[in-house]
Structure 1
Amino acid sequence: MTEIKMVRARRVRALPDYQLEIVFDDDTMGVADLSDFVGTGPMMQPLRDPAFFSRVFIEMGVPTWPNGCDIDPINQHMLFREAGALRPVSAAA
């Protein structure tokens, strides 16, 4: 059974090609590829515009866009961990 760790996003940065760098409050980070999800529904549709995608910010520990679309930091942390893509912030370039 996978352990669910309660984490919040501390910092987020939009990268090219619908990638999102997320730094968590446990001093780990990962890069999410959202290219398969951008534009898949009414909330995600505006994110197809790279200028809008880059307007991501942190609201109460959650990566969020101005239209209210957000990314669950706990689920994203679990996905990074399971994929072996979660790394210490100090390892970031």
Structure 2
Amino acid sequence: MVPKIKDIKVKDDYKLIVLFDNNQAKEYDAKMLIERHKSFHVLKDKMIFSMVKVDAGGYGISWNDDIDLSEYELWKNGRDVENVMN
């Protein structure tokens, strides 16, 4: 079972630190996603990229109604990192 997202932090170079409700943190590199998928191209604008929010219930993250990622994607493809949210 995939834990839900508790918090998110934007880092340089299109990376996200995702804190899950089991207190595990993962780093997700969104750069390839932005380059390869047309619907994510708008996130090349770092101002827009930085506007990411955790969805209600922690089931994913989103930038707007059209651009989002699931908690599963972030959990499965994120790299384990030390919890840097504190």
Q: Report the TM-score range of the alignment, normalised by the length of the smaller protein.
A: 0.7 to 0.9
Give 1:86's match in structure 2, choosing from 67, 80, 84.
Answer: 80
- 5 Å matches for 1:52-63? 52-60=48-56, 61=58, 62-63=60-61
Q: TM-score, normalised by structure 1?
A: 0.75
Query: Partner of 1:71 in structure 2?
Result: 69
Query: 1:1-93 to 2 correspondence within 5 Å?
Result: 5-60=1-56, 61=58, 62-80=60-78, 85-87=79-81, 89=83, 92=84
Q: How many pairs align?
A: 83
RMSD: 1.9
What per-residue deviation string (whole Å, max 9, x for no partner) do you get for residues 11-44 of structure 1?
Answer: 0111111001100111101111111111433420
Contact 2:28-2:77 at 8 Å conserved across structures: no
Question: What secondary structure is seen at the aligned counterpart in 2 of 1:44?
Answer: helix
Does the 8 Å CA contact 1:43/1:67 hold for their aligned counterparts? no
Q: Give the number of the structure whose residues are more often strand, by fraction.
A: 2
Runs of 4+ with >4 A deviation? none
TM-score normalized by the length of structure 2: 0.80
Write the distance in 1 (CA, Å) between the matches of 2:53 and 2:41.
17
**Larger relative helix fraction:** 2
- Structure 2 gaps, min length 5: none
For structure 1, the 5+ residue unaligned runs are: none
